[in-house]
């Protein structure tokens, strides 16, 4: 019996996050006069996807580590300005779904996004209901404990006193599925972010949904 439903956030509950992060990274590199081909930019970002932005920038600036401190400051300006949030949009019906699920399950979040971005900008902008018992982000754990390491999920299960068999994790990216699998938790992939159906199936994911709204038909 399932008791705990844990969500990734970006491109799961709100959409456009991938575009928002990419825009912040592109504008940071442009300000530093660093040019990376689009395929190389994508490859490097994906290698560190789900980790704090400092680790992403370290990967993007492999050839220019001397610029890392400046890049961190530039990224923060972009991220906390309007570059990130202007790309976001809501999943129609998401708030109603969260309210419905919270009446039946304990809800939590395990995400790579920044906790202040969630609580101070995204939640108010989209009127997200106060339904989450716990939120753990990549900024709350050591870098080596971010996705796909199971640590974030394990901490949530420990606090909420639930077992892996009582838990599901909903995400959109490869590291989401792998984190769940590493924690012995059932992964659910929604096709609103990084993975397509074929890629999710190759990861061994059994539950693949078009979006989170479909959860209501299952739970």
Q: Is the peptide bond before 29 cis (omega within 30 degrees of 0)?
A: no
Which residue in 3, 6, 11 sits closest to 108, CA to CA? 6
Give dist(CA 117, CA 111) in Å, integer. 11
HSE-up (13 A, CA, CB side) for residue 173: 23
From first to last of its 219 residues, the chain has per-residue pLDDT tens of: 999 999 999 999 999 999 999 999 999 999 999 999 999 999 999 998 888 899 999 999 999 999 999 999 999 999 999 999 999 999 999 999 999 999 999 999 999 999 999 999 999 999 999 999 999 999 999 989 999 999 999 999 999 999 999 999 999 999 999 999 999 999 999 999 999 999 999 999 999 999 999 999 988
pLDDT value for 147: 94
pLDDT value for 143: 86
Instruction: Please report, for the chain, the start and end positions of each structural domain, with discontinuous segments joined by +.
Output: 4-16+88-218, 17-86
End-to-end CA gap in the chain: 11
pTM of the model: 0.88
**What single-letter DSSP state applies at residue 150?**
S
pLDDT value for 14: 97
What's the topology of domain 4-16+88-218?
A: Rossmann fold (3.40.50)
Q: Which two tokens mark 27?
A: 């504008």
């Amino acid at each position: 019996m399932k008791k705990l439903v844990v969500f990734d956030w970006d491109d799961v509950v709100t959409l456009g996050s991938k575009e928002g992060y990419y825009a912040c990274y592109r504008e940071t590199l442009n300000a530093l006069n660093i040019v990376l081909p689009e395929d190389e930019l994508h490859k490097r970002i994906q290698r560190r996807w789900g980790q704090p932005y400092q680790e992403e920038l370290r990967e993007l600036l492999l050839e220019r580590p001397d610029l890392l401190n400046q890049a961190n400051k530039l990224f923060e300006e972009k991220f906390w300005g309007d570059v990130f949030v202007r790309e976001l949009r809501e999943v129609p019906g998401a708030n109603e779904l969260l309210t419905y699920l919270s009446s039946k399950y304990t809800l939590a979040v395990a995400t790579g996004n920044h906790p202040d971005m969630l609580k101070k900008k995204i939640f108010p902008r989209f009127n997200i209901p106060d339904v989450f018992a716990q939120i753990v982000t990549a900024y709350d754990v050591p870098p080596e404990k971010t996705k796909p390491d199971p640590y974030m999920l394990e901490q949530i299960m420990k606090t909420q006193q639930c077992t892996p068999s009582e838990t599901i994790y909903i995400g959109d990216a490869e590291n989401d599925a792998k984190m769940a699998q590493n924690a012995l938790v059932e992964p659910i992939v929604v096709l609103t972010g990084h993975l397509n159906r074929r890629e999710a199936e190759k990861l061994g994911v059994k539950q693949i949904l078009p979006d989170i709204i479909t959860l209501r038909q299952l739970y």
